[in-house]
Amino acid sequence: MTIQLKRVYDPVEPGDGERYLVERLWPRGMRRDELVITAWLREAAPSDALRRWYGHDPAK
C-alpha cells in the first residue's frame, strides 16, 4: 500500500485513491461540499497543545 501526502488545497487527481483529512481544524476557505475526502480524521491529528508548542517553527 502506498500513502501519499497532499495539501488539502491541491486539486483531486485520478490516481489519488481515497483521501483523508488529518487535521484538528477545518481548512480555511474550504466549504465542506467542495472538499473531496473519504473521512475527516481529527483524532489522528496533532493535539492542540502540540500545535501551540510547534507554533509553525520548523526548527522544532
3-state secondary structure at position 40? strand
**C-alpha distances in angstroms, 53 versus 27, 31, 50?**
20, 28, 5
Length of the chain: 60
Tell me the average pLDDT across 44-59. 86
Tell me the average pLDDT across 9-26. 92
Rounded to two decimals, the pTM is: 0.75
Domain residue extents for the chain = 21-54
pLDDT band at 54 (very low <50, low <70, confident <90, very high): confident
The DSSP bridge partners found for residue 21 are: 40
Q: Residue 34 — φ and ψ, nearest 5°?
A: -100, -5
Tell me the average pLDDT across 33-42. 93
Q: Give the whole-angstrom CA distance, residue 47 versus residue 6.
A: 20
